[in-house]
Amino acid sequence: MERLGAALLAALDDRQRADGTRPFDADDDRRWIEYRPEKRPGLLLAGLGTAARKAVFRLLATGLSPAAFAQTMAIIGLEEVLDRREGYRNGRHSEDYRMLVFGTPGDDRWGWRFEGHHLSVTMTVADGVISPAPLFLGANPARVDLGGRPVLRPLGVEEDLGRELLLSMTPATRDRAIVSPDAPWDIRTGVEPRARTIEPRGVARQDLRPGERALLDQLTAAYLGRLPDAVAERLHTDDLHFAWEGPPQPGLRQYYRIQGPDLLIEFDQTADGDGHAHTVLRRPRGDFGGDLLAAHHAASPHPTG
C-alpha cells in the first residue's frame, strides 16, 4: 500500500497533487464519509490521464479483496445506468469519484480515501498497521434484469444471505430478530463522522441454533471479505447481534444490521422494486483508525502547542 500510495503521488502534477493530498491532521477532511451525490474534496477522476487513473485504482485495490474491487467497479459503472434511467437530467457520470491521500505514504501515520456516489473507502495506516472503515458500498439500481433474471446485482450476496438467515430461524427467534415492521429510509449511521452508539437489538449469536449461527458467520464473513485477509483478521467479531426491520419478502424495503462492540454492519434496501441498496462496515471504536492512532499516541506522544 505504501509503495502504491507513493506511486500515485508521483504520477500527479503539482495541481493534481494539491487537489489530492491533505495533511494527516486535517480532520475535517479525513474524518469524513459522504456517499450521496454531493460535493466532496479530493482529486477528481475526470481529466486524469491513464497513468494517474490507473495509479488511483491500484491504490484502491490494495484496500479491497478481489471480489470487493469488482463490486466497486460495478458500482462506478452503475452511475451511467442510473443517469440513463433519469433521462440524463442530473449529469451523473462514472468519473465523478475522488481520491485523497492524507499525510505522506511511509510516514508513521498516513491514509487515503476513495469516494463518490455510493462509494466511500477509507484506510488509515499507523506504524505500518492498516485500519479499515468506514467502508460503504451502495447500488442504484440494486439489480438490473434481463427476462426476469438478474444480469447485475453488485450487493446481491449481502441481500440474499441476510434474508436466508432470517428465514432459517424458528418463528420465535424470528420474532425476536425483527425489531420493526418498517425499514428505515437509510442506514442508521448515515454520513456521521463518528459511528454513533446503537443499542444492540434483535437476537444474540449465542442464542441461535448451530445452523443459524453458521449463516450469521457466513453473512459477517461476506462483509469482512471485502477486505484483504491480513486486514480483515484484525477485526473483532465477538458478541454479535442480528436485527431486522421491514418485511422479509424480496423486492420490498428492508434493513438489517450486525453489531458487536467494535463492529457495525448495516444493509438497507431503501426502495421497492429493483431496489436502491446501501451497505456499510463501521467500527465504533476504530473508525478512521481511531484505535491505531490512540495506541500510536500512547507509545510516542506528539508535541502540542
Is the per-residue pLDDT at 298 higher than 90? no
Q: How far is CA 96 from CA 24, 155, 224, 279, in A?
A: 24, 21, 27, 20
User: Binning pLDDT at 50, 70 and 90, where does residue 302 land?
Assistant: low
Q: Give the β-pairing of 21-22 and 97-102.
A: parallel
Tens-place pLDDT, residues 192-250: 998 878 889 999 999 999 999 999 999 999 999 999 999 999 999 999 999 999 999 99
- Look at residue 303 in the predicted model and tell me its pLDDT: 53
Give the separation between CA 249 and CA 166, rounded to whole angstroms. 11
Adjacent-strand bridge partners of 279: 137, 267
Is the per-residue pLDDT at 305 higher than 60? no
Please state, rounded to an integer, the average pLDDT across all residues of the chain.
Answer: 95
**Angular region, 139: left φ>0, alpha ψ -120 to 50, beta rest:** beta
Which residue blocks in 228-270 are alpha helix, DSSP H? 229-232
Tens-place pLDDT, residues 86-132: 999 999 999 999 999 999 999 999 999 999 999 999 999 999 999 99
Tens-place pLDDT, residues 256-277: 999 999 999 999 999 999 999 9
Q: How far is CA 133 from CA 190, 191, 226, in A?
A: 14, 13, 11
- Look at residue 301 in the predicted model and tell me its pLDDT: 62
Q: Which of 61-75, 135-149, 288-302 has the lowest mean pLDDT?
A: 288-302
- Look at residue 292 in the predicted model and tell me its pLDDT: 87
Tens-place pLDDT, residues 32-46: 999 999 999 999 999
- List the chain domain ranges: 2-138, 144-289
